Amino acid sequence: MKPFILLRPATLSEAAREAARPGSEVKAGGVDLLDRMKEGFDSPQRVVSIAHVPGLDVISAGPPAKIGALATLARIASSSDIKRLYPALAAAAEGAATPQIRNMATLGGNLCQRPRCWYYRLAEFDCRKKGGPTSSLCWPTARSSTRSRPGAGGRSCSTTSSCGRPRTPGARMS
């Protein structure tokens, strides 16, 4: 992992300002971002931790529900109000990952995480999704595979990071 500057903003406006600076990535729980940094897929110059920004861990069942980016999957799954009013959401949060991961993983991080395609995650594959040449293949669609497929049904597969900012155009899925 390459060295980086860790920033800990105290307010949401400060976090937004710092995150907008070039070379920055936002870290909530950090499960996916730290994995990507260890694997060498991302090397941000600055990591903006929103872990201590007040109010981002709120869970209010409403209706409408308001769930902050720092609400962990474990807290969403165990919220009696969420279970009562939004049982599918509670069940999805409870069924995600392992208990250890659910205790760290945040709603914001899950919405922003990068693809979990095995070919994307393996360094030996130069795929289009991780910035390879446009002639690169989308490996799951180019080969018969028992590994996870990042998309299906003839839809275009586009890769995004940091809550939807486009990285590179994806391959056509078949």
pLDDT in tens, 57-106: 999 999 899 999 999 999 999 999 999 999 999 999 999 989 998 998 89
Residues 66, 102: Cα–Cα separation, whole Å: 19
Per-residue pLDDT, 156? 39
Same domain, 72 and 88: yes
Residues 81, 61: Cα–Cα separation, whole Å: 6
Q: For the chain, what is the mean pLDDT?
A: 78
Residues 32, 49: Cα–Cα separation, whole Å: 13
CATH of the domain at 30: 3.30.43.10
What is the pLDDT confidence band of residue 140, given thresholds at 50, 70 and 90?
low
Last residue of a domain, one of 13, 28, 53: 53
- Is residue 117 one of the residues assigned to a domain? no
- Is residue 67 one of the residues assigned to a domain? yes
Domains identified in the chain, total number: 3
Residues 27, 33: Cα–Cα separation, whole Å: 7
122 vs 87, higher pLDDT: 87
Q: Give me the domain span that covers residue 80.
A: 59-111
- Is residue 120 one of the residues assigned to a domain? no
- Is residue 174 one of the residues assigned to a domain? no
Residue pointed to by tokens 């009013």: 85
Per-residue pLDDT, 122? 74
- Residue ranges of E strands in the chain: 5-7, 24-27, 46-49, 59-60, 66-67, 159-161, 165-168
CATH of the domain at 63: 3.30.465.10
Question: What confidence tens digit (pLDDT) does each residue in 37-55 have?
Answer: 888 878 999 999 999 999 9
For 34, counting Cβ atoms within 10 Å of its Cβ (0-12 exposed, 13-18 middle, 19+ buried), the class is: middle
Q: Are 152 and 170 in contact (CB under 8 A)?
A: no
Look up residue 125 and give its amino acid. Answer: F
What is the pLDDT confidence band of residue 158, given thresholds at 50, 70 and 90?
very low
Last residue of a domain, one of 72, 88, 111: 111
111 vs 57, higher pLDDT: 57
